[in-house]
């Protein structure tokens, strides 16, 4: 059974930093791209970032480019999202998600973790 | 960036009735489109990929159609567990983009 468990969320002040982790199990982690999708309170889904299985390629939404960095440790079956220069608009539930074999859509999602940016 | 527009924003349907949800892309995405279902407090669940292929374990009452820039998700006979928000997502281009969602509510 595929499981994705996010951690590292919480309250942070504007301008602050936070690192999210997503521990994966139930599949061959090193073979699949992984991504992050966020959802602001009461709003829809917004793709944030995706990293390829090999870590060679990563992509970012314009709204986070230059501030967020995705990374992964295949030996630990974990993907990370380093978030810097956080603003109130970054307040959201952040979902970790597993990509399909072709790095296209997300076939499994974590429950998500709440990040609140507030003074 | 490809903009995905879903309609209607809210769809009121009685149990057992058919629901038809639309998703339009601002440019062609070929068949590179997925549909997700999200219930309150839960993670999204993949329903359809490649515009018309049901994901593993998804009931046959869910069907997807379309290509290019116009797509449809049809739920043939709504069950109580189908009342949720539905999102489309294109994966033809970076950045990946989602529609704003259609809420299917009980009439």
pLDDT tens, residue by residue, A63-77? 999 999 999 999 999
Interface contact B100, partner A, CB < 8 A: yes
Residue B59: the pLDDT is 97
- Across B67-73, average pLDDT: 98
Q: Mean pLDDT over residues A87-101, rounded?
A: 96
Residues of chain B with C-beta less than 8 angstroms from the C-beta of A109: 43-45
Residue A102 pLDDT grade (very low, low, confident, very high; cuts 50, 70, 90): confident
Q: What's the whole-number mean pLDDT along residues A22-40? A: 97
Q: Give the torsion sign (CA, B70, B4, B55, A59).
A: positive
**What 3-state DSSP class applies to B80?**
helix
pLDDT value at A101 more than 90: no
Cα Rg, chain A, nearest whole Å: 13
Written as one string, the DSSP assignment of B3-52 is -EEEE-SEEEE-TTS-EEEEEEESS--TT-EEEEEE-TTS--EEEEETTT
Chain B environment of A70 (Cβ under 8 Å): none
Q: Is the per-residue pLDDT at B38 higher than 90?
A: yes
Q: Compute the average pLDDT of residues A73-89.
A: 98
- From CA B14, how far away is CA B19, in angstroms rounded? 9
How many Å apart are CA A41 and CA A64, to the nearest integer? Answer: 18
Give residue A119's pLDDT: 94
Find the helix or strand (DSSP H, E) in which B70 lies. Answer: strand B70-75
Contact B8, B73 (CB under 8 A): no
| Residue A106 pLDDT class (50, 70, 90 cuts) | very high
DSSP string for residues in A55-117? SS-EEE-TTTTTTEEEEEETTTTEEEEEE-S--GGG-EEEEEEEE-TTS-SEEEE---EEEEE
Closest CA to B64 of B3, B19, B1, B107: B19
Mean pLDDT on B28-41: 97
Q: What does the pLDDT look like over B75-102, one tens digit per residue?
A: 999 999 999 999 999 999 999 999 999 9
Taking only the tens place, the pLDDT of each residue in A39-59 is: 999 999 999 999 999 999 999
Distance of alpha carbon B78 from alpha carbon A6, whole angstroms: 32
**Rounded CA Rg of chain B:** 13
For A:61-90, CB contacts with B below 8 A are 61-62
Quote the pLDDT of residue B12.
Answer: 96
C-beta of residue B56 within 8 angstroms of C-beta of residue B67? no
Q: Quick one: average pLDDT of A17-27?
A: 98
CB contact under 8 A, B94 and A105: no
What is the predicted pLDDT for the residue at A75? Answer: 96
């Amino acid at each position: 059974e595929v499981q994705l468990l996010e951690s590292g969320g919480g309250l942070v002040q504007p301008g602050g930093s936070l690192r999210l982790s997503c521990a994966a199990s139930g599949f061959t982690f090193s073979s699949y791209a992984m991504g992050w999708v966020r959802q602001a309170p009461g709003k829809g889904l917004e793709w944030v970032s995706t990293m390829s299985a090999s870590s060679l390629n990563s992509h970012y939404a314009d709204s986070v480019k230059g501030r967020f960095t995705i990374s992964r440790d295949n030996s630990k079956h974990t993907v990370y999202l380093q978030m810097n220069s956080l603003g109130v608009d970054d307040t959201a539930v952040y979902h970790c998600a597993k990509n399909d074999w072709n790095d296209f859509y997300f076939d499994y999602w974590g429950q998500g973790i709440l990040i609140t940016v507030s003074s | 960036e490809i903009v995905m527009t879903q309609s209607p924003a809210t769809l009121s349907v009685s149990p057992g009735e058919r629901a038809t949800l639309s998703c339009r892309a601002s440019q062609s995405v070929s068949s590179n489109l997925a549909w997700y279902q999200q219930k309150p407090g839960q993670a999204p669940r993949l329903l359809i990929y490649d515009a018309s292929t049901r994901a593993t374990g998804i009931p046959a009452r869910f069907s997807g159609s379309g290509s290019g820039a116009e797509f449809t998700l049809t739920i043939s006979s709504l069950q109580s567990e189908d009342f949720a928000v539905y999102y489309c997502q294109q994966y033809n281009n970076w950045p990946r983009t989602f529609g704003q969602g259609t809420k299917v509510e009980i009439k």
